[in-house]
A = this chain, B = another copy of it.
Amino acid sequence: MSTETQARDTIFIGKKPLMAYVTSTLIQLANIPTVSIKARGMSIGRAVDVAQIIVRKTEHAGFSIGDIIIDSEALESKDGKMRNVSTIEIVVKRNTA
């Protein structure tokens, strides 16, 4: 808990180029066996893209998709109303040899 250089186990998908998230996720997976890719709203499709790129490109190195959780969060929009936004969490894990 007090480790300064602790590996993050969650990658949040935003507006950066897709490969930036692929790289971040692969770097984390070099250190820890499972990483969660999280996104909400418009970024959900991109989270699936990131997970698929990792699994496809590393077919032999061996990462695979674990649990996929979908949910929704209440967020306050600019007009002050509460809106529900869908979320996704995709677990990518290193295959055990």
Hey, which bits of chain A sit against chain B, CB under 8 A?
A: 41-45, 48-49, 51-52, 56, 65, 68-72, 84, 86-88, 90
Contacts and interface: CB of A to CB of B under 8 A. Distances in A.
19 contacts: A41-B45, A43-B45, A44-B44, A44-B45, A44-B48, A45-B45, A45-B86, A48-B70, A48-B87, A51-B70, A52-B70, A52-B84, A52-B86, A56-B72, A56-B84, A65-B70, A68-B68, A68-B70, A70-B90
So how many copies of this chain end up in the complex? 2
Nearest to A44: B45
A-B pairs, 10 with minimum CB distance: A44-B45, A68-B68, A48-B86, A52-B72, A49-B86, A52-B86, A48-B70, A45-B45, A44-B48, A44-B44
